[in-house]
Amino acid sequence: SSLANAAGALLALDAEYADLDGHLLISNDTFSELQVNKDGKVILSNLPGLGVDRN
C-alpha cells in the first residue's frame, strides 16, 4: 500500500536502492499522495506523518 511504501521510503533514505513501487500495482489502495517521478524516485509529500492521506 502507499502507507507501507511511505514508511519504507523514510527508512530507505540512506539506501542506494530500494524497491518501493508495489503501491502502483494496487487498484484499490486505501491511501494516496505517494508519488513517483519519471526517474522512478519516490517524492515524499509535505503532509504530516508519513505524508499519505486515507481515501
Q: What is the pLDDT of residue 17?
A: 87
The pTM of the full predicted model, rounded to 2 decimals, is 0.70
Residues 16-40 pLDDT 10s: 888 887 777 788 888 876 788 898 7
Q: What is the pLDDT of residue 49?
A: 87
Q: Residue 33: CA atoms inside 13 Å, Cβ hemisphere, count?
A: 17
What is the rounded CA–CA span in Å between residue 50 and residue 38?
Answer: 22
Residue 15: pLDDT over 80: yes
